[in-house]
Structure 1
Amino acid sequence: MIGIVGAGGHAKVIADIVSCGEREEPIAYFSAGLPPAWAVRAAHYHDNEEQLLALRASVKGWHVAIGNPVVRKRKLEWLLACGFPVIQAVHEQSVRAESSVLGEGAGVMAGAVINPYAAVGRGCIVNTSSSVDHDCRIGPYVNIGPGCRLAGGVKVGELSELGAGVIVIPGMTIGKRCVIGAGAVVIDHIPDHSVAVGVPARVIKRSSN
């Protein structure tokens, strides 16, 4: 059995990826609410530590499929600290260079490309049809939205989120805990804890969190 922590939209996508790669393995969802209607034929359990520990021996691999990177980090770090077998979810129609590195529990969606010597951190989401070019360094728990284009040598800090269609030119650094609005074009470095939007991207807000 494969355990998916989460039962929202992102969990649907991860379940599809897992089903393609592990066709003989049933899927169980773990979430705080009621079972989602779309997962009516799958097992559903309440997402709490006692329940996960009770089913530990029955689950072959775990994947945290939660879009919020802060929550995803908390859940995944707990699983790893307890020694649970955490799996990546990589769509069979994505492209990943042999020299690239993909962290524990990361997800790579259909049409995504990770080019040579790029490193994508633990628990990252590389979303549909996005591309991470050569020598990029993507920190842990980063969300790369659908259709993003990260040129060579880009760095993105932990827990940052890039909206759909963001473009980042070569060599730029986006700090930790940043939010880059959909469609933005990043042509300069973005400091930690920034919200940036527009073409070119401009910082409109800073926080200390």
Structure 2
Amino acid sequence: MYLYGASGHAKVIIDILGSIGVSVAGLFDDNPDLKELAGIKVLGAFSSKQNLDEELIISIGNNSIRAKIAEQLNVKYGQAIAKTAILSPTASVGEGTVVMQGAILQADVLVGKHAIINTGAKVDHDCRVGDFAHLSPGAVLCGNVSVGEGTWIGAGAVVIPGIKIGKWCKIGAGAVVIRDIPNNAVAVGNPGKIIKYC
């Protein structure tokens, strides 16, 4: 496996892959000063002329940057699903997605491409998590929640059942979302309130 992005997020993915017996052949990063991360060589910037012999994961936490890179690359993407994550047999996870330690995906959950289900996040039955979305550590989606493309759900946020959150939203850490949230909204607090649009 190759990783694109040599950061703290990449370190967690390296740990996950190592725990399931997948080695990281190298990392790509646009910063020429980076030479290695966690003992793995940084190969420099990724070139579209490169022909990878293994799958790649975009190991960048920023949703919009991850989306921009995914649109530009023509490679085969892998996944990283931690051994300690719990996935229902009926849950589905898209290419490029990372499911971290202690996360739970219940029955009929659908997670899109290049998403991040972070440490200890809980996603209950029939939820939909869009491409490039990020559920931060400890976030909770109750049943039948829909999270749009590129949306970020902050650490410890809770979304009650049946809520629809639009695309490219930001939900603050610890927020309790009890109403639908439209596209591009920023919502914080308990109960969650929209404070601006991005």
- Tell me the residue number matched to 2:170: 179
User: CA separation of 1:87/1:186 partners in 2, compared to 1, >3 Å: closer, same or farther?
Assistant: same
Amino acid at match of 1:157: G
Amino acid at match of 1:127: N
Q: Number of residues paired by the alignment?
A: 197
- Tell me the residue number matched to 1:74: 68
Instruction: State the 1:22 CA deviation.
Output: 3.0
Q: Secondary structure at the match of 1:46?
A: coil
User: Following the alignment from structure 2 to structure 1, what is the Cα–Cα distance between the partners of residues 107 and 81?
Assistant: 16
C-alpha contact (below 8 Å) 2:14/2:24 kept by paired residues: no
The one of 159, 163, 185 aligned to 1:168: 159
Asked if 1:22 corresponds to 2:16, the answer is no
Instruction: State the 1:44 CA deviation.
Output: 1.1
Runs of at least 5 residues in structure 2 that lack an aligned partner in the other structure:
none
Per-residue CA deviations over 1:75-111 (Å, capped at 9, x if unaligned) read: 22333xx2x2210110010000111111111000000
Amino acid at match of 1:4: L
Q: Secondary structure at the match of 2:42?
A: strand
User: CA separation of 1:26/1:105 partners in 2, compared to 1, >3 Å: closer, same or farther?
Assistant: closer
Runs of at least 5 residues in structure 1 that lack an aligned partner in the other structure:
none
Instruction: State the 1:35 CA deviation.
Output: 2.0
Amino acid at match of 2:61: G
Instruction: State the 1:36 CA deviation.
Output: 6.0
User: Following the alignment from structure 2 to structure 1, what is the Cα–Cα distance between the partners of residues 127 and 44?
Assistant: 37
Q: Secondary structure at the match of 2:43?
A: strand
- Tell me the residue number matched to 1:89: 80
**Which runs of at least 4 in structure 1 moved beyond 4 Å after TM superposition?**
none
User: Following the alignment from structure 2 to structure 1, what is the Cα–Cα distance between the partners of residues 171 and 122?
Assistant: 16
C-alpha contact (below 8 Å) 2:57/2:79 kept by paired residues: yes
Cα root mean square deviation, aligned: 1.4
- Tell me the residue number matched to 1:46: 44
Instruction: State the 1:126 CA deviation.
Output: 0.2
Amino acid at match of 1:159: G
Per-residue CA deviations over 1:149-187 (Å, capped at 9, x if unaligned) read: 100000011011011000000000111010000000001
User: Following the alignment from structure 1 to structure 2, what is the Cα–Cα distance between the partners of residues 144 and 47?
Assistant: 28
TM-score by length of 1: 0.89
TM-score by length of 2: 0.94
Instruction: State the 1:26 CA deviation.
Output: 4.2
User: CA separation of 1:26/1:66 partners in 2, compared to 1, >3 Å: closer, same or farther?
Assistant: closer
Instruction: State the 1:27 CA deviation.
Output: 3.0
Amino acid at match of 2:56: W
Amino acid at match of 1:136: C
Compare the two structures and name the one with the higher helix fraction. 1
